[in-house]
């Protein structure tokens, strides 16, 4: 049963938002404002987008959003600071606790400041306990499934001086939260929450809850609205988009659907120009989706397909539910349908019990597939996951040495793949002036590769424009090019 948050509850959140806004507007008018808020994000795209929703809610409460702040700056400290946390690896958690601790001094200078912690880390009981006891300056803790209740906990803090720590977890699907998006031309749209896969190393299913999909009509309406406001590219988000739609038949009046159907609707019923998605679990990549990618010009020829390991025995221990051969077969199917597809992946090194032979299987898979890019991670032991209990943890020196070999191999391949682009003319969506050189523009190809390109003033290139660009140079993580012509 999918817990769709009722319109009445959302209306109540809106009422509380307006109440906070009236109070904040009065402060502004008295000359003591404006009040400011900052959301600090850790973790994946899912969290980045959740932060956009948190900022949208804070804006509605009458706060001015600031991108960042410095603790040295006395009255420059925001009135609200939210940490949107990640716990996928241990080092992320350590960094976050460091930052939450560091803000304590600022709160001494500004006692009325509100500090909140949200996101994945707060779905672990031990973390909530630690905040409750040792981080007394934190006013509220919200889990991944109850961020929509931000107006409620903020109102409790502002009007009743109440601290909220330890709300019960919820696997909710809230609708109607207006995200404050960072980018006008590219937007994230969540299509589903949670994960049911329980890979043996991964904490996400425990902190994001069970898989639950948004209704297709809600998703299509959001994409259409974004397109009408000027968004050109949409990234559909879910931990495993290929199992989108499971269980939706139980919602009154909803037909059986799946991700291939959904993405076709987003292409045909909205004015967006480019559609991407992540993440796809290899075990669920369907022939229907591959067909949709081949047939639908709006779907970018790009696929992020995390393999984790190239060894069948290690994949089995990881509970990934595919073999090396299954994975290679899937890649071949995708390449048959989309010969120019840009493929990227995630790889993990040092999973418990990883032998040299298993590691060599991963290296050889990299050589065989030749990914355009790979995100490489060192295994981190996550309390509560099956792999954490394994007595076979790999020694640190071995892991480091393997990690080095892995990144060297992949960097060479990424560079060679980029070299193959030299001399080609590609379409990019312009993101703005290049960060490293103000005489150049930066844009992204359909394959999601960054291109830094030159253009004459007469070309009038602007952020959000599509341009055809000749590739003239290649590095490991980016391409160089020259403007050819503007395009739609």
Decide if residue 202 touches ligand SAH (CB under 6 A): yes
Smallest gap from Cβ 243 to ligand SAH, in A, equals 11
Q: What is the dihedral of CA 39, 40, 44, 50, to 10 degrees?
A: -10
- The partner in contact with residue 380, picked from ligand F3S, ligand SAH, ligand SF4, none with C-beta cut-offs of 5 to 8 angstroms by kind, is ligand SAH
Strand partners, 36: 64
Site for ligand F3S in 118-147 (CB under 6 A): 120
HSE toward the beta carbon, residue 166, CA cutoff 13 A? 10
DSSP readout, 148-196?
GGHHHHHHHHHHH---B--PPP--EE--------S-SSEEEEE-EE---
Q: Which of 126, 159, 198, 477 binds ligand SF4 (CB under 6 A)?
A: 198
Smallest gap from Cβ 27 to ligand F3S, in A, equals 33
Beta strands in 185-335 (DSSP E): 186-190, 192-193, 212-213, 233-237, 274-278, 302-304
Q: Are 38 and 106 in contact (CB under 8 A)?
A: no
Decide if residue 186 touches ligand SF4 (CB under 6 A): no
Decide if residue 87 touches ligand F3S (CB under 6 A): yes
Decide if residue 239 touches ligand SF4 (CB under 6 A): yes
Rounded to whole angstroms, the Cα distance separating 373 from 376 reads: 10
Q: Which pair of structure tokens corresponds to residue 77? A: 């400290």
Residue nearest ligand F3S, CB atom distance: 43
Q: Identify which range of 165-173, 203-211, 337-345, 390-398 contacts ligand F3S by CB under 6 A.
A: 203-211
Q: Which of 96, 118, 187, 348 binds ligand SAH (CB under 6 A)?
A: 348
Q: Identify which range of 75-83, 138-146, 201-209, 395-403 contacts ligand SAH by CB under 6 A.
A: 201-209
Q: Which of 212, 281, 304, 444 binds ligand SF4 (CB under 6 A)?
A: 281
Rounded to whole angstroms, the Cα distance separating 142 from 165 reads: 8
Decide if residue 204 touches ligand SF4 (CB under 6 A): yes
Smallest gap from Cβ 237 to ligand SAH, in A, equals 10
- The partner in contact with residue 198, picked from ligand F3S, ligand SF4, ligand SAH, none with C-beta cut-offs of 5 to 8 angstroms by kind, is ligand SF4
Distances (CA, A) of 215 to 223, 256, 269, 274, 305: 13, 11, 15, 21, 25
Q: Are strands 450-454 and 114-119 parallel, antiparallel or unpaired?
A: unpaired
Smallest gap from Cβ 58 to ligand SF4, in A, equals 28
- Contacting positions for ligand SAH (CB under 6 A): 88-89, 201-202, 204, 239-240, 279, 281, 306, 308, 346, 348, 377, 379-380, 382
């Amino acid at each position: 049963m999918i817990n769709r948050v009722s319109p009445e509850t959302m209306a109540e959140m809106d009422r509380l938002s307006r109440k906070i806004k009236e109070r904040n507007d009065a402060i502004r008018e008295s000359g003591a404002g404006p009040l400011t808020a900052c959301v600090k994000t850790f973790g994946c795209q899912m969290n980045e987008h959740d932060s956009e929703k948190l900022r949208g809610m804070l804006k509605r409460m009458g706060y001015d959003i600031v991108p960042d702040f410095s603790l040295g700056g006395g009255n420059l400290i925001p009135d609200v600071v939210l940490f949107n946390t990640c716990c996928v690896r241990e080092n992320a958690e350590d960094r976050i606790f460091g930052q939450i601790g560091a803000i304590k001094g600022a709160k001494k200078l500004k006692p009325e400041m509100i500090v909140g912690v949200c996101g994945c880390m707060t779905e672990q009981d031990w973390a909530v306990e630690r905040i409750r006891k040792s981080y007394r300056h934190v006013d509220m803790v919200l889990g991944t499934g109850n961020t929509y209740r931000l107006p409620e906990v903020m109102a409790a803090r502002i009007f009743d001086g109440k601290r909220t720590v330890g709300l019960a977890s919820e696997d909710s699907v809230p609708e109607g939260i207006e995200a404050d998006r960072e980018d006008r031309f590219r937007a994230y749209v969540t299509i589903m929450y949670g994960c049911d896969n329980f890979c043996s190393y991964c904490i996400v299913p425990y902190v994001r809850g069970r898989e639950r999909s948004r209704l297709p009509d809600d998703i299509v309406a959001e994409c259409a609205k974004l397109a009408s406001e000027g968004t050109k590219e949409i990234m559909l988000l879910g931990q495993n988009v290929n199992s989108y739609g499971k269980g939706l038949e139980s919602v009154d009046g909803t037909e059986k659907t799946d991700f291939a159907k959904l993405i076709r609707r987003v292409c045909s019923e909205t004015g967006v120009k480019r559609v991407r998605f992540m993440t796809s679990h290899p075990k669920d990549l369907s022939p229907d989706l591959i067909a949709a990618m081949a047939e639908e010009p709006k779907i970018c020829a790009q696929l992020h397909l995390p393999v984790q390991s190239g060894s069948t025995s290690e994949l089995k221990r990881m509970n990934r539910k595919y073999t090396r051969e299954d994975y290679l077969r899937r890649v071949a199917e995708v390449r048959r349908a989309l010969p120019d597809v840009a493929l990227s992946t995630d790889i993990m090194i040092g999973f418990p019990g990883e032998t040299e032979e298993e590691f060599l299987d991963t290296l050889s898979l990299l050589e065989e597939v030749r990914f355009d890019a790979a995100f490489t991670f060192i295994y981190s032991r996550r309390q509560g996951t099956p792999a954490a209990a394994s007595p076979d943890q790999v020694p640190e020196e071995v892991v480091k040495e393997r990690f080095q070999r892995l990144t060297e191999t992949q960097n060479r391949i990424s560079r060679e793949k980029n070299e193959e682009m030299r001399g080609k003319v590609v379409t990019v969506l312009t993101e703005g002036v290049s960060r490293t050189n103000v005489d150049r523009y930066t844009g992204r190809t359909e394959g999601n590769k960054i291109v830094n390109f030159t253009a004459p003033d007469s070309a009038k290139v602007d952020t959000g424009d599509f341009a055809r660009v000749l590739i003239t140079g290649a590095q490991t993580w980016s391409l160089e090019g020259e403007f050819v012509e503007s395009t739609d």
